[in-house]
Amino acid sequence: MNVDLLRSRCAYLFHALQISSRALMAFSLLLALLAQSANGQIKPSHSFWTAQQEVIVLRCDESNGNPCFYDVNDEGIVSYDRRGTLDRYTYDVYQNEMGIVRRRLISASSHAVMEQGRREQLVNYPQRYALVFDLGGGQAVRVPLVFPNTTSTTLGDRQILGIKCHGVLRKWVQQRNRFRRSEETWIATGSDFKEPLFQVDYGSGNNSILVEVHVIRSFKVSPPLEPSIFKLPGAYQVVELP
């Protein structure tokens, strides 16, 4: 065989092996990146969001010994008997790329009860707490998103606003007043929108019933939002929920 031809073929083979080796290394790196992402080592990119949320609150007195009737349907409509009072609140909701949410009250039904923190809320989903406060006040109350001694049960999947959501039911007893609480939440899967699309909080104790329904009526990806939206304004003192 011609020596020059042999050298040429050897050089070609060596070059091909180099290319195959590089391709194999690149493929191995891709597999490693996918594995890290699946294990949560690489954070997916997050978006800014805006939404509108309706909150319906039913308060019912059972001090006369008769149970209060109420029902909540899949659209967040609350039915109740005459002993109950119903308040409605509407919020603008903002979310930044870190998963922090700001809720701002924009309207409420006439004579609606305005507890402390009903108007403004900052929810830090990554660190699992919320700050509730009123503008112009000097104090913000820090509330855990999941209370101690909470039991959780999965509720499976369902469609809300045409989006697949996963549900969880949590139950606990508030230590300060022995109020029995349960919370049903439905969160969109395959999306980094953090707010539950549908949530129902139930509370009972001291001869009273409290039902609070949170419903996202619309939401969409937003251009970047002002960082100040997601910060506690002014020199507020942060106190733990008593």
- Return the structure tokens found at 12: 């070609």
Please check the confidence at residue 39 and state whether its pLDDT lies above 50.
Answer: no
Query: 138 falls in which pLDDT band (50, 70, 90)?
Result: confident
d(CA 23, CA 43): 26
- Ranges of each domain in the chain: 1-42, 48-240
Strand partners, 164: 159
Query: 177 falls in which pLDDT band (50, 70, 90)?
Result: low
Question: What would the pLDDT profile of 143-158 be if each residue is shown by its tens digit?
Answer: 999 988 899 999 999 9
138 vs 74, which has greater pLDDT? 138
Fold of the domain spanning 48-240: outer membrane lipoprotein receptor (LolB), chain A (2.50.20)
d(CA 205, CA 111): 24
The pLDDT, as a whole number, for residue 46 is: 64
The pLDDT, as a whole number, for residue 212 is: 92
Angle at the Cα of 209 from the Cα atoms of 208 and 215, rounded to 5 degrees: 155
Angle at the Cα of 158 from the Cα atoms of 97 and 99, rounded to 5 degrees: 10
Please check the confidence at residue 43 and state whether its pLDDT lies above 50.
Answer: no
Tell me the whole-structure pTM to 2 decimals.
Answer: 0.76
Query: 225 falls in which pLDDT band (50, 70, 90)?
Result: very high
36 vs 142, which has greater pLDDT? 142
Share of the chain above pLDDT 90, in %: 48
183 vs 79, which has greater pLDDT? 183
Angle at the Cα of 226 from the Cα atoms of 222 and 228, rounded to 5 degrees: 140
Residues 63-75, mean pLDDT to the nearest whole number:
74
